[in-house]
Structures are given as structure tokens and as C-alpha cells.
Amino acid sequence: MSAGINFCSAPSELRITDMRFVDIDGAPKRCTLLKIMTNQGIEGYGEIRDAASKTYALMLKSRILGKNPCNVDKIFRKIKQFGGHSRQGGGVSGIEIALWDLAGKAYGVPLYQLLGGRFRDEVRLYCDTDVEGRHTGRDMGYALKKRMEMGFTFLKMDLGIGLLLDQPGTLNAPLGYIEEMKKYAPHILNVQGGSVTADMVRHQKSYQIVTTPHPMTGIHITEKGLDYLENYVEEVRDVIGYEVPLAIDHFGHVCVEDCIRFARRMEKYNIAWMEDMVPWIYTDQMVRLKNSTTIPVCTGEDIYLKEGFETLIKTGAVSIIHPDILTCGGALELKKIGDIAAENGVAVAIHMAESPVACMAAVHVAAAMQYVLALEFHSVDVPWWSDIVKGLPKPLIQNGFIKVPEKPGLGIDGLNEEVIREHINPNIPGYFEPTDEWNTEFSNDRIWS
């Protein structure tokens, strides 16, 4: 018998009794694992996406206590109003995944079976690759080549204006503005390791910068800058060849006109897709970009619920959608998003930069979707990543694929406490501590009169 799975469960009598959390650092980013406990001793595991507050899930605890977790859709419809785009969807999505894990364990079937069965026995991964510090396109090419030697058949790299920071005459902006962004908002420039921090949000100038969308920054790329980026990609292709798909991400906060200029330069290098070039909320700009280039346009990791994807798909704004299971609303919502895409001739790649818990949930949904290009993998350089959970094959990734598990629920036997304790976020200590103070949190949740 697998640990945590009760094959003598009485699903109709199953009830949620508790929900607890542990915060991990570096898997590959900060993430929060959640555990939903029941009156029959079955535990379901979920996850909150990197850099999202677990408060988004804690506030929902009182709304799910005492409920039968097998009624996943019913509970989801009760709590989905408390999610939002980007990291604000983390609480709802993480809980939804844990509910499916519980339902699968209660009935003794894998998650993909609860979603209607599977279309494939294994799921292709695309490998996202970073190179730290100053480097050339040739350096990136060799890093990607190593991924190919590991068996990965689909690649992605960062390519953006961060590469131009030390190249005079390549960027144009109000004098002093780029220096301010280096200090207060490095992620806007696509500086390696740059991300929004709590200190940035608290600082007035930081807040002004991090909340400035791409078209409003005033940053432009010069022809010299475009020459540099084109040479970088040419060097990458010289190393890895033209046979392997190569996607690009993290371009930086520039206007759509500059994105179009850049895209036209890149067309000859057979780019699989360019990702999040402009904010997804600007549908007209997405349409304009897509209609101006032959490179597939991709977005979606920050969109909560299927309606946002449907708008982009039906207005012709995307060639590829890129939902994240921990943002979009969870497993069933991701399946619905995939169905909308398939019905409208749009491809799906699944964003995933999380722990094995969310990874395996995404694998099940990818198996249950009719069409899927690939699932992201961002943890090649984290040697303990797959050891966070128990019961998965070793190695988990073989020849660039993950085999779809046959075990109930997500297909994991439990968490590896020893490994997790070694990597607990020092700023958020504790291992599944009680959360009783959230048991009776209340508001009138009705959204109509």
C-alpha cells in the first residue's frame, strides 16, 4: 500500500479537517507546499506558485473545512471568486490541485482518469535555460547543447534587453531611467536573478517603476541594439543547429513597436515562439504584434481562469497559449483552457517553474489534453528537486519526457520531510505548523444581491 492512500476509503463520507503549509526556497524558486487533511487519514498535496503569499490560500480554509474534497468542482466554484491574475490565483489553484489529489486517492485512480482519461503515456518537456552574468550567444548555445545531451528535445532561453546594459548605444531611454531600474526594478531589464521583492514594493520609486507597463517605460532599442541581439541568436544557432525548437522569453519592458522591429530581425532563426513580449492585458497590441511577424506569439502564465484565454484566442492575439496550473485555477480549468485552444486552432505549451507537486499535477493534465506542445521544466540545476516527494521514478525525466503516473491522485506517495527541512525558506520557518487561527475567518461572500 502506498503511503497516505487509503484504499478502503468511503468517499461519500470524506471530509476536510485541516490545511497546513511549508515554504521551500530554491526549487527552483520560492514555493509553498500545502497539505489538506481529512477525517479518514488521507492527505492531499497542492502548491502555491513562486512568490505568491500563502495568505491567498489561508483565507479560504474556513470555506472548505467540513466539505467533501471529492466535490472538486463544487468547491472550486465556491472559492474561485477569491483568486486573481498572476500570483493572486495561487491560493485557489493550489487548493484545487490538492482536492484532486484527495479525490484520486479516495477512489484509487490517477488524476488524469478523473479528467476524462489520457491521450498520451508520456509528456514532452521543454527545458528553460539560464546563463548567469555576462555571456555571449555562444555561451548560451553551449548551455543549451548540454540540455540536448541530457535528452531534452525542446529548448527555451531568455533573450532581452538585459543583454544590452553594458553595450553603449544599444538602448534609448530618458537619461538616468535605466540606472534607476537597475537599482529598483532589475526584472524589468531582464537582469538575471532580477525579481520583485517586498522591499521594492514598499519603496515609493520602486513601486512606481514595477507598476509601469511595457509601453509606458520610454525604453527603446536602437539599431545597434538589434544588431547585437541578432548576432547573439545567430551564435546560439551556430552551436545548437536549426533542427531543435528554440523559444525565447523575458524580453523586457519596451513598446510593441520595438517588439515588432525585434521580431522581424529574428524570423530567419526559426524561433518556436516569443513569450510575453507585451502585457497580455493589451489585447489589441497582442493582435498587432502577431499580425506583424511570422514568429508564433505566446502568452498566458499570468492569466487566471479560462475567460482571459478565450478572449486572446478568439481575437486572434496568440499562436500559442502558455497557462500555469498554479495560476489559471488548477487542473480542471487548465483542461478547459486546452479544449478552447484546440477548438480554435491554437497550440498549448504549459508553463511550469515549480516543485514536483505542481509538476506532476501538470503532467496529468497534459496527458488528458488532446493537444499539447510541451511542459516547461526549469529545475535541471536543482539536484534535490525530485527528492522533495516520494514514489516517483528515478530518474523522473527520461529522454526529455516524464511518464504519466498510474498511482492514485497526483501519483506521489508523500513528501520527503528530511529534504524539505534542509531547504525551508529561512524567512518563513516551520514545517506544516497548525493554522487554527484561520478556521473561523468569515465574510459574506455572495457577489450578487
> How many whole angstroms separate alpha carbon 14 and alpha carbon 394?
33
Residues 338 and 26: beta-carbon distance below 8 Å: no
- Longest pairwise C-alpha distance within the chain: 69
Helix (H) or strand (E) holding 19: strand 16-24
CATH number of 122-414: 3.20.20.120
DSSP state of 296: P
Per this entry, what is the length of the chain?
Answer: 449
Q: Which three cell numbers stand for residue 433?
A: 505548523
DSSP string, 175-229: TTHHHHHHHH-GGGGT-TT----HHHHHSHHHHHHHT--GGGS--EE-HHHHHHH
> How many whole angstroms separate alpha carbon 23 and alpha carbon 364?
24
Residues 358 and 47: beta-carbon distance below 8 Å: yes
pLDDT below 50 — which residues of the chain? 1, 192-193
State which fold the 11-109+415-438 domain adopts.
Enolase-like; domain 1 (3.30.390)
**Residue 1: what pLDDT?**
45
Closest CA to 371 of 406, 397, 343, 402: 343
**Residue 196: what pLDDT?**
57
Domains 11-109+415-438 and 122-414 share a fold: no
**Residue 161: what pLDDT?**
94
The full set of domain ranges for the chain reads 11-109+415-438, 122-414
